[in-house]
Structure 1
Amino acid sequence: MIELRHVQKQYQSGSHTTYALHDIDLSIEQGEIFGIIGHSGAGKSTLLRSINLLERPTAGSVVVDGVELTALSTKQLQEQRRRIGMIFQHFNLLSSATVEENVAFPLKLIKTPKAEVNQRVRELLELVGLTEQSRKYPAQLSGGQKQRVGIARALATNPHVLLCDEATSALDPQTTNSILSLLLDINRKLRITIVLITHEMHVIRSICDRVAVIHQGRIIEQGPVAEVFLKPRHEVTKQFIEQVADSIDFRDEKLSPDSTILKINFLGESTYEPILSRVVQETGVTFSILQGTISRMKSTPYGQLVVKIEGPRQAADDTVSLLIERGLDVEVYEHGLG
């Protein structure tokens, strides 16, 4: 659906070259929600805007829907961009136009017949829940309503791809959740591919299927959200995960010679199964929970437990082996001195 191959973006200032993007390879599938997360200045906005060539790469190729955008003429590129909608952090609405006029604007630009414009606007305002606000102006709307107008406008030309440039960063948490729910609903109903950038792991965890982590213009980690979230490899990724995960300091935890601290990750239906209880009955160790959470990544349940088990070292090792055999991800934090 979307292919970025060896994409680079560099800026020249005299003899000094700055790389905003360096050798980016990404493949995004039809119908998925793909997240790109990074700190400010990491290159995520440049990467997103490279997909529709608002930022033209210095090198590499961008293919969307089988069409290599980097090989098109200006006129051909304008036509292809109709298949790529975009929403922005600060909405970018026309302040002197009503809600319905804002949504209709892209259709009028391509000289769509008036009856078709009116029908499409009605459909989109119903989709985003703004039918009753159609005659209002942006100044009369809340931040969440403005973003809903932006989403409706971006969908006006029936795009195959929706790019979201920090679409929830200017919103409060409750409104953010409502916009994320709307994007998820749009993805399910229209099967539109959504690519979003953010610096908030909560956004990634809530609606994305896969995620790429960008740092200093490079993709340092990518994969399914659950895999990246539960088994982060890069230190930057671990920092983002700390945004949504409570941390616990075990340095002051008193360990007996027969103590072992484990971190256990559950994913999917195993989250609700008594696997740990069954295993400790088999191995004869006892356990106490130091920390535990159950949440969801998009529609997939997951859980994380940090437990202290008490028992001989061999029994502790057997417990770890059985938990892994039964499909859980287990990390040994610390053994006692037994």
Structure 2
Amino acid sequence: MIQLKQISKTYASGGRLVHALKDIQLHVTKGEIFGIIGHSGAGKSTLIRTINLLERPSTGQVVVDGVDMTALSQSKLQEERRSIGMIFQHFNLLSSLTVRENIAFPLRLAKRPKDAVKRRVDELIGLVGLQEHADKFPAQLSGGQKQRVGIARALATDPKVLLCDEATSALDPQTTQSILSLLLEINRRLHITIVLITHEMQVIRSICDRVAVLDSGEIVETGLVADVFLKPQHRTTRDFVAQVSELPEIAQGSTDGMSGRTQVRITFIGEQTYEPVLYHTMKEKNVPFAILQGTISRLKDVPYGQLVVELHASGGEAERTIAALREQGLDVEVLKHG
């Protein structure tokens, strides 16, 4: 659906050349929710704005649904942009227009018939749950209600892609969750491809299918959210995962007093999370164990569990037990050897 091919963006600032994006290669599949996470200044907003060419890349190609956006004339680009909706951190509503009029605005720009505009606006007001607020002005709305108007407006022209530029960062946690639930419902009901940027790992784990981690204008890690969240490889990714991890870090201190014992972190993904795999394996190997820490949670629709376990075994016995756990499809990381 979306392909970014060798995208770079440079600009001059204070007499020096700034590399905002560096050789970005990215593919977003039709119908998925794809997250891009990074710290402030990492290049997230620049990257998402290259998709609809609000930011024109210095080099590279942007292909959306088979169309090379970077090769279009200005008039053709304007036409193609109607298939790409966008919602913003600070809503960008027109203060002099009502909810209904804000949603209708892009349809009027597209010169749609009045009766078609009314039908579409009524449909979208129902979709985002603003039936009781249709004739209010933005100043009369809460932050969450304003963002719902922004979402409805972005969907007005029936786009194939919805871009979300820090769409929840100005909202409180409860409102954020309601907006994320709405985006997930829209994705499932309309099969629309969603690309969102954020600096919050909780947003990624709640609704995204895949994620790319951006650091200093470069993608340093990408993959399925479950893989990236549970097995982060890059320092920046580990920083983000630490924001929302339910498991405290295990102290990497002395192994004194651990003779004959081995500490491991075991990760379960999917339905295996609820199966007694650990119990059965330990019973078969006749290895006593103690659970030191543990959590069960979800990454979007995927359940997962993490346990820190102390095996009352060492040397070859511990290695055979760990191998047996891995044969069951579990990810096992050795933390301490006795």
* SS of structure 2 residue aligned to 1:182: helix
State the identity %: 64
Please state whether the residue corresponding to 1:269 is helix, strand or coil: helix
SS of alignment partner, residue 335 of structure 2: strand
Contact 2:262 2:314 in 1 (8 A): no
Shifted more, 240-249 versus 84-93: the winner is 240-249
Alignment partners' CA distance in 2, 1:167 and 1:287: 45
**1:122-141 paired onto structure 2 within 5 Å:** 122-141=122-141
User: Alpha carbon RMSD of aligned pairs, Å?
Assistant: 1.2
**What is the 5 A alignment of 1:11-160?**
11-13=11-13, 16-160=16-160
SS of alignment partner, residue 221 of structure 1? strand
Deviation at 1:252, TM superposition (A): 5.7
Superposed CA offset, 1:245-292 (max 9, x none)? 032332468642111110111100000001111111112222212211
**Matched residue SS, 1:243:** helix
Does 9-18 or 158-167 show the bigger shift? Answer: 9-18
| Alpha-carbon shift at residue 14 of structure 1 (Å) | 6.8
Instruction: State the alpha-carbon separation in 2 of the partners of residues 15 and 102 from structure 1.
Output: 41
Deviation track 1:292-315 (CA, whole Å, cap 9, x = no partner) reads 111111111111111111124222
Corresponding residue for residue 165 of structure 1: 165
**When the two structures are aligned, how many residues end up with a matched partner?**
336
Gapped regions of structure 2 (runs ≥ 5): none
* Contact in 2 for aligned 1:284/1:311 (Cα 8 Å): no
SS at 2:322 equivalent: helix
TM-score (normalizing by structure 2)? 0.97
Does residue 306 of the first structure (1) align with residue 308 of the second (2)? Answer: yes
Separation of aligned partners in 2, 1:227 and 1:256:
31
Compute the displacement of 1:16 (Å): 2.1
**Among candidates 255, 259, 263, match of residue 257 of structure 1:** 259
How far is the alpha carbon of 1:12 from its aligned partner?
2.1
TM-score for both structures, normalised by structure 1: 0.97
1: distance between equivalents of 2:144 and 2:320?
Answer: 52
Bigger drift between 231-240 and 246-255 goes to 246-255
Kept in 1, the 8 Å contact 2:212–2:221? The answer is yes
Query: For 1:259 and 1:32, how far apart are their aligned partners in 2?
Result: 44
Are positions 1:278 and 2:288 aligned together? no
Secondary structure, aligned partner of 2:103: helix
**What amino acid is aligned across from residue 121 of structure 2 in structure 1?**
V
Q: In 1, Cα distance between the equivalents of 2:324 and 2:281?
A: 7
- Which 4+ stretches in 1 moved above 3 angstroms? 251-255
1:212 corresponding residue in structure 2: 212
Task: Tell me which amino acid in the other structure corresponds to 1:152.
Answer: A
Q: How many angstroms does 1:159 deviate by?
A: 0.2
Which residue number in structure 1 is paired with residue 291 of structure 2?
Answer: 289
1-structure distance, mates of 2:257, 2:215: 38
What secondary structure is seen at the aligned counterpart in 1 of 2:243? Answer: coil
Paired residues for 1:173-212 under 5 Å = 173-212=173-212
Contact persistence 1:104–1:121 (CA under 8 A): yes
Match of 1:261, SS?
Answer: strand
Q: Is the Cα–Cα contact under 8 Å of residues 38 and 199 in structure 1 kept in the other structure?
A: yes
For 2:273, the aligned partner's letter is: T
Q: Is the 8 A contact 2:99 2:136 kept in 1?
A: yes
